[in-house]
Chains A and B, each alone.
Chain A
Amino acid sequence: MTPAIEVRQATREHRVGQTAVVALRGVSLTLHRGEHVAVVGPSGSGKSTLLQLLGGLDRPTAGSVLIDGQDTAELPQAELARIRNRVVGFVFQGFHLQPRASALDNVALPLVYQGVRRAERRRRAADLLDRVGLADRARHLPGQLSGGEQQRVAVARALVTGPTVLLADEPTGNLDSVTGERLLDLLAGLNAEHRVALAIVTHDHEVAARARRQIVMRDGRIVSDSHIVSDSRIAGDGRIAGDTARRTGRA
């Protein structure tokens, strides 16, 4: 089975005037379906850049990133957009909801770019809102929702197209600890139920501790990549890992 995402010796340089700032230095890793990974490290360690490469928002300046077996460097922008639409889902620290659109229409947004008709979009979005426990908030505008509710809308939006990978960048960064905890429960539960690979970038060790695999980054490099649950239980076997996750999700 092809890994969901494969990163091979990926380097990402940013040119700022004359100087080149290296955000990632030859990083390699493989992400399988159903995995639950936390990427930790101090700010500036390259963890957000890594997440952007994993989701096809950005491309490496050297090395390669394969999403669903496709090398992002070789894909035209339109194809890369298709991958972002169908294969990955993003959750950001700042929610990034459209302020003038209802929770329902926010969730339905990715379906717009699949050419799905409005009624069908809303039906599927309502289904997802129901799954994140916000069925009764469908008509609300983001401004009328709490931070935790807004982030759950964002999670529903990330999942509405049925992606293989869910990428979350500091998803609890703007939430208080109780709300954050509940959001992580939700993510873990979705990870288990839908065999969606979940990669969370965080500098919060409590958040990281919930993942079964931890990747620690420093200065653009991966300094450790360890499985917390025994290797035999995970080793790319998403189904078994899913069972574990389901238990934690219900806890």
Chain B
Amino acid sequence: MRIGEAVRVAVGALVAARLRTALTVLGVTVGVSSVMVLIAIGDGTRREVAGRVDELGSNLLLVVPGKMEIGMPTVSRMQLSDVAAVGRVVGDPDRVAATVASGEMVQAGTAKTFTTVAGVLENNRTVLVRQLARGAYLSRADVDSARRVAVLGATVARVLYGDTDPVGRQVTVAGVRFRVAGVFAPLGQSLGVDRDDEVHIPLTTAQRLFATTRVDGLAVRAADPAGMAALGDRIVAELAERHPDSAFSVVTQDQILSVLGDILDVLTGVLGATAGISLLVSGVGVANIMLVSVRERTREIGLRKAVGARPADIGAQFLAEAVLLTSVGGVLGIALGAGTTLAVERLTPLPTLLTAWSVALSFGVAATVGLLFGTLPALRAARLDPVHALRTE
């Protein structure tokens, strides 16, 4: 029997049992669309992370205390003198940004919010490329004389001052009065984290405020992207010499991207597999309905065998029916999945990205489910004894 003929017979059988077909297709549709949507969210997240890391540029080195491994964060032993030493290694202190950060309460009038307060050098804005919406960034003089000035993230500015321009006004950070020097341009959300929820103050002021002399980490903007690995080694060597009992690590954007990429691969895989389970369940439904179909059409199978259908012909006919069921479900699932993805993009903060491969994968998985779960019923039909089948009522 030709394939076209098997499909024609399958279509006839599916149309004849409309409601049953529709319900089975619905199961597959839901399974396929959930696979698609979850993969789209995984891919969207990956793109967003990659975009964020790209923004910082490929010639950025991050220097952090401790080994690069997952575990308890290491308390930094770096101090301002180390920042200066790294500046000498790099050859240009303006290329070395330093940070000390702490979660603090900030307040203006009656409005207050808990946010990340980062003590930074005046070069932070250029090394990490930040845009201001209003006012000015911290100056070298601010850092040198430990002035109480602050630059607010867009969210903090909105929460504390609403529509009023905060520049020149007072803000209380951890109980100490500061003057607002400027407001950052908004960056938006990234991976569910509000990137505008922060306040920058001079590093020297921050150390006094937090009662510490430490520096948490450094960011180095290398002049030459090619020599980054060597530069990183020299920085680590310098720091190791100054703190023989501490470890330091240097990470590049590529490394962060690769680590995050691995994590996101796992995340996407887990999400996809979860949705895959619903697809599997729909496959069981397909097998079930196909067994019913085989039983119902036992007489027809007997007759077809009597007029010359080989076991393979009968098997192909029922396999075509199962694959057709899941393929129709696959196509509808792709449509539903694309619609849902669009809705998620518009109505939730989750990023999404529809890719051709995920559409192809969803359809391929659906068709495979049909093949897999259609095989048992098809075999059963193919092996029916024609004499017995013809006698069935």
Q: Footprint of B on A, CB under 8 Å? A: 52, 55, 57-58, 77-78, 81-82, 84-86, 89-90, 92, 96, 98, 100, 109-110, 112-115, 157-158, 161
CB <8 Å contact, A81 and B308 = yes
- A96-B299, A100-B16, A113-B1 known; A84 and B308 CB under 8 Å? yes
CB <8 Å contact, B387 and A52 = yes
Cβ of A58: which chain B residues have Cβ within 8 Å of it? 385-387
- A96-B299, A98-B300, A100-B16 known; A113 and B387 CB under 8 Å? no
* 9 residue pairs from A and B, CB less than 8 Å apart: A57-B386, A78-B311, A81-B305, A85-B307, A96-B390, A110-B308, A113-B310, A115-B1, A161-B308
* A114 to B308 alpha-carbon distance, docked (Å): 8
Size category of the B interface is 20 to 34
Contact of B306 among A57, A77, A82, A114 (CB under 8 A): A57
Cβ of B312: which chain A residues have Cβ within 8 Å of it? 78
* A96 to B307 alpha-carbon distance, docked (Å): 11
Cβ of A86: which chain B residues have Cβ within 8 Å of it? 308
Cβ of A55: which chain B residues have Cβ within 8 Å of it? 306
CB <8 Å contact, A115 and B299 = no
| Chain A proximity mask over B150-178: 1 for CB below 8 Å, otherwise 0 | 00000000000000000000000000000
Cβ of B390: which chain A residues have Cβ within 8 Å of it? 57, 92, 96
- The answer to the question of B104 belonging to the interface, with a C-beta cut-off of 8 Å to chain A, is no
- The answer to the question of B2 belonging to the interface, with a C-beta cut-off of 8 Å to chain A, is yes
Cβ of B308: which chain A residues have Cβ within 8 Å of it? 81-82, 84-86, 110, 113-114, 161
Cβ of B16: which chain A residues have Cβ within 8 Å of it? 100
CB <8 Å contact, B313 and A113 = yes
* A90 to B303 alpha-carbon distance, docked (Å): 9
Minimum Cβ distance to chain A for residue B2 (Å): 6
- Interface of chain B, helix or strand or loop or mixed? helix
| Chain A proximity mask over B269-308: 1 for CB below 8 Å, otherwise 0 | 0000000000000000000000000000001101111111
* A207 to B309 alpha-carbon distance, docked (Å): 31
- The answer to the question of B194 belonging to the interface, with a C-beta cut-off of 8 Å to chain A, is no
- The answer to the question of B5 belonging to the interface, with a C-beta cut-off of 8 Å to chain A, is yes
Query: Chain A residue with minimal CB distance to B15?
Result: A100
CB <8 Å contact, A84 and B387 = no
Cβ of B311: which chain A residues have Cβ within 8 Å of it? 77-78, 81
* A89 to B305 alpha-carbon distance, docked (Å): 12
- The answer to the question of B12 belonging to the interface, with a C-beta cut-off of 8 Å to chain A, is yes
Contact of A90 among B5, B299, B306 (CB under 8 A): B306
Cβ of A84: which chain B residues have Cβ within 8 Å of it? 305-308
* A100 to B14 alpha-carbon distance, docked (Å): 12
Query: Chain A residue with minimal CB distance to B12?
Result: A100
CB <8 Å contact, A109 and B307 = yes
| Max count, chain A CB within 10 A of own CB: residue among B5, B299, B307, B311 | B307
Query: Chain B residue with minimal CB distance to A98?
Result: B300
Minimum Cβ distance to chain A for residue B384 (Å): 11
Minimum Cβ distance to chain B for residue A114 (Å): 7
| Max count, chain A CB within 10 A of own CB: residue among B1, B306, B385 | B306
Cβ of A109: which chain B residues have Cβ within 8 Å of it? 304, 307
Contact of B310 among A77, A110, A158 (CB under 8 A): A77
| Max count, chain A CB within 10 A of own CB: residue among B1, B300, B308 | B308
Cβ of A85: which chain B residues have Cβ within 8 Å of it? 307-308
Cβ of B387: which chain A residues have Cβ within 8 Å of it? 52, 57-58
| Chain A proximity mask over B364-392: 1 for CB below 8 Å, otherwise 0 | 00000000000000000000011100100
Query: Chain A residue with minimal CB distance to B302?
Result: A96
* A57 to B309 alpha-carbon distance, docked (Å): 11
Minimum Cβ distance to chain B for residue A199 (Å): 15
Minimum Cβ distance to chain B for residue A231 (Å): 33
* A157 to B12 alpha-carbon distance, docked (Å): 20
Cβ of B304: which chain A residues have Cβ within 8 Å of it? 109, 113
Contact of A81 among B5, B12, B310 (CB under 8 A): B310
5 pairs of A and B residues whose beta carbons are closest in the complex: A85-B308, A110-B307, A81-B310, A113-B308, A78-B310
Query: Could you tell me which residues of chain B, from 301 to 338, have a CB within 8 Å of some CB in chain A?
Result: 302-313
CB <8 Å contact, B310 and A82 = yes
CB <8 Å contact, A112 and B306 = no
In the complex, besides A81-B310, A82-B310, A113-B308, 9 extra interface pairs with C-beta distance below 8 angstroms are A57-B386, A58-B387, A77-B311, A81-B305, A85-B307, A90-B307, A96-B306, A109-B304, A113-B313
* A113 to B309 alpha-carbon distance, docked (Å): 6
CB <8 Å contact, A113 and B12 = no
Cβ of A90: which chain B residues have Cβ within 8 Å of it? 306-307
CB <8 Å contact, B307 and A157 = yes
Query: Chain B residue with minimal CB distance to A53?
Result: B387
Minimum Cβ distance to chain B for residue A214 (Å): 24
Cβ of B302: which chain A residues have Cβ within 8 Å of it? 96
Query: Chain B residue with minimal CB distance to A81?
Result: B310
Cβ of B2: which chain A residues have Cβ within 8 Å of it? 115
Minimum Cβ distance to chain B for residue A211 (Å): 22
Cβ of A114: which chain B residues have Cβ within 8 Å of it? 308
Minimum Cβ distance to chain B for residue A166 (Å): 13
CB <8 Å contact, A112 and B386 = no
Cβ of A157: which chain B residues have Cβ within 8 Å of it? 307
CB <8 Å contact, A112 and B1 = yes
| Chain A proximity mask over B4-20: 1 for CB below 8 Å, otherwise 0 | 01000000100010000
* A82 to B306 alpha-carbon distance, docked (Å): 10
Query: Chain A residue with minimal CB distance to B306?
Result: A90
